[in-house]
Amino acid sequence: MAKTLVIGAFGQIGSELVPALRSKYGREGVIASDIREPHPPGEMEPYEICDATDKEGMERLIRRHDVDTVYHLASLLSASGEKNPDNAWRLNVKSLKIVLDLAVKHKLKRVFWPSSIAAFGPTTPRVGTPQHTVLKPTTMYGVTKVTGELLCQYYHLKYGLDVRSVRYPGLISHKALPGGGTTDYAVGIFYDALQKGSYSCYLRPDTRLPMMYMDDAIRGTIELMDAPAERLSVRTSYNLTAISFSAAELAAEVKKHVPSFKISYKPDERQKIADSWPQSIDDSQARKDWGWKHTYGVPEMTAVMIKELKKKLGMR
Ligand code: SER
């Protein structure tokens, strides 16, 4: 039986996408892969250690498991990418090119690759950002996302590869922590509110960004991959959004659950990145083409984050 491969299985998205795909296709039908040993060992089986920038290793993996679908999630996020632009380019672009080339060579059925709101830049309209608009990002992460989007479209047009993509907003989850992004505060605030009663936010209170609860993101990703190819009119990457809020608005929502919660603001280098991104996104094309619909609003997302994190942190 042909298998699905998830590259970047331990990341923020991968660690929730793997179980979701396994409940749909069965454990053996989904190969998880990442660059490090799983902890505890065996937990992620079937699991393969592989560096996404190692073409031979990736090819062996695709052959050995008769892979026909790849979710390629390995990536360096925006803030980490600014600390090491060379690494961001190498991991984000080189690995995608490898996956696309192998997908053509081995005639894979379908590939998923995530883009981001980071594909936009300071000259893009920031409110209700349209599907087709200016893509002139000022971060290396954004540059790799625009490059990747164009590569995906090129492989679709040139080789007929069925590669699909969405521009994720900031993703909020109580399972895996995000690492090295600009939207990470929207997860960190919950941990600190519950554990310390206060949070020091690295963005200004009025910083508004598009966000999404992880369950919506996972469901949307699988729905896009299940959609009939003829319904898809975008082969760069679909705008996708759910909610938009400012840091102060999220803090007010958290306060409804933790009344003594205090927030302070100390903007750092991530403020500049956030200021170059949209405040809200127009994702009507995704809604029209393949029926995208989010379910979690800000109050629902906040309530479930508080409830699940309390359980995870062993609090009442
Ligand atoms: N969440 C990502 C980041 O902040 C955006 O794609 O870098």
- Say which DSSP state 231 is in: G
Name, in order, each residue with C-beta under 8 angstroms of 253's C-beta and a sequence gap of 6 or more. 245, 298, 299, 302
Q: Whose CA is nearest to atom 1 of ligand 1?
A: 170
Is the CB of residue 116 below 6 angstroms from any atom belonging to ligand 1?
yes
Residues of the chain with CATH 3.40.50.720: 3-170+212-239
Residues of the chain with CATH 3.90.25.10: 174-211+242-279+297-312
Active-site residue (options: 47, 141, 199, 213):
141
**Residue 168 CA, closest ligand 1 atom number:** 6
CATH top class, domain 174-211+242-279+297-312: alpha beta
Catalytic, 141? Answer yes
Q: Whose CA is nearest to atom 3 of ligand 1?
A: 181
* The pTM of the whole model exceeds 0.85: yes
**Residue 81 CA, closest ligand 1 atom number:** 7
Q: Would you give per-residue pLDDT tens digits along the chain (316 residues)?
A: 899 999 999 999 999 999 999 999 999 999 999 999 887 777 789 999 999 999 999 999 999 999 999 999 999 999 999 999 999 999 999 999 999 999 999 999 999 999 999 999 999 999 999 999 999 999 999 999 999 999 999 999 999 999 999 999 999 999 988 889 999 999 999 999 999 999 999 999 999 999 999 999 999 999 999 999 999 999 999 999 999 999 999 999 999 999 999 999 999 999 999 999 999 999 999 999 999 999 999 999 999 999 999 999 999 7
Q: Whose CA is nearest to atom 7 of ligand 1?
A: 181
**Residue 184 CA, closest ligand 1 atom number:** 4
Tell me whether residue 304 is exposed, middle or buried, using C-beta atoms within 10 angstroms of its C-beta: 0 to 12, 13 to 18, 19 or more.
Answer: middle
Name, in order, each residue with C-beta under 8 angstroms of 240's C-beta and a sequence gap of 6 or more. 166, 167, 168, 169, 212, 217, 220, 281, 283, 286, 292
Cα(65) to centroid(ligand 1), Å: 31
Q: Within 10 A of 224 (CB to CB), how many other CB atoms are there?
A: 21
Is the CB of residue 5 below 6 angstroms from any atom belonging to ligand 1?
no
Architecture of domain 3-170+212-239: 3-Layer(aba) Sandwich (3.40)
Backbone dihedral angles phi then psi of residue 3, each to the nearest 5 degrees = -115, 165
Q: Whose CA is nearest to atom 2 of ligand 1?
A: 181
Is the CB of residue 78 below 6 angstroms from any atom belonging to ligand 1?
yes
Q: Which amino acid is at 190?
A: F
